[in-house]
């Protein structure tokens, strides 16, 4: 009798996942619009084609830069907490933390 075996497969590569993207479409648009699409693609770490697909199908595009900014602001907030001490909150420390929190909220609302 043959043993039951489980075949383990590696996850598909990006090229294999994108295999179904085989059709090519030409599009005419103003240079300013193309520059905006390219800038959005660079900020999100995506290809221009992927940005156009996501925009057309209504999928959200989150900019990678904004996530990095939020991470840095949170790190700075942690440093302010560390420097200000355990229980003593000076007005300057409280103002710095409020400024960091406001910046995180502004960036978070924009993505």
* pTM for this prediction: 0.47
User: What integer pLDDT is reported at residue 32 of this predicted model?
Assistant: 96
**C-alpha torsion sign, points 86, 91, 95, 101:** positive
The whole domain housing 83 covers 64-110
Q: Tell me, yes or no, whether 22 lies in a domain.
A: no
Residues 85 and 74 in one domain: yes
The two most distant CA atoms of the chain are separated, in Å, by: 78
Number of Cβ within 10 Å of residue 40's Cβ equals 17
Average pLDDT on 73-97 reads 74
Residues 75 and 106 in one domain: yes
52: pLDDT confidence band, cut at 50, 70 and 90? very high
pLDDT above 90: residue 34: yes
Q: Tell me, yes or no, whether 76 lies in a domain.
A: yes
Residues 39 and 76 in one domain: no
Residues 54 and 91 in one domain: no
Residues 73 and 47 in one domain: no
Residues 72 and 89 in one domain: yes
Indicate the number of domains in the chain.
2
Task: Please tell me whether residue 89 adopts helix, strand or coil conformation.
Answer: coil
The CA distance from 43 to 63, in Å, is 5
Q: Map tokens 């990095």 to a residue.
A: 68
**C-alpha torsion sign, points 45, 76, 92, 101:** positive
Q: Tell me, yes or no, whether 103 lies in a domain.
A: yes
Residues 104 and 77 in one domain: yes
Q: Tell me, yes or no, whether 6 lies in a domain.
A: no
Residues 57 and 76 in one domain: no
Q: What DSSP state is assigned to residue 71?
A: H
User: What integer pLDDT is reported at residue 37 of this predicted model?
Assistant: 93
């Amino acid at each position: 009798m043959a043993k039951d075996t489980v075949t383990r497969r590696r996850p598909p590569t990006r090229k294999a996942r994108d295999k179904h993207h085989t059709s090519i479409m030409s599009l005419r648009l103003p240079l300013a619009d193309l520059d905006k699409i390219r800038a959005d693609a660079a900020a999100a770490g995506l290809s221009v084609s992927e940005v156009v697909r996501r925009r057309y199908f209504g999928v959200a595009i989150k900019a990678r830069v904004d996530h990095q900014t939020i991470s840095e602001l949170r790190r700075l907030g942690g440093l302010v907490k560390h420097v200000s001490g355990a229980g003593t909150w000076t007005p300057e420390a409280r103002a710095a933390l409020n400024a960091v929190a406001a910046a995180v909220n502004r960036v978070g609302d924009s993505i």
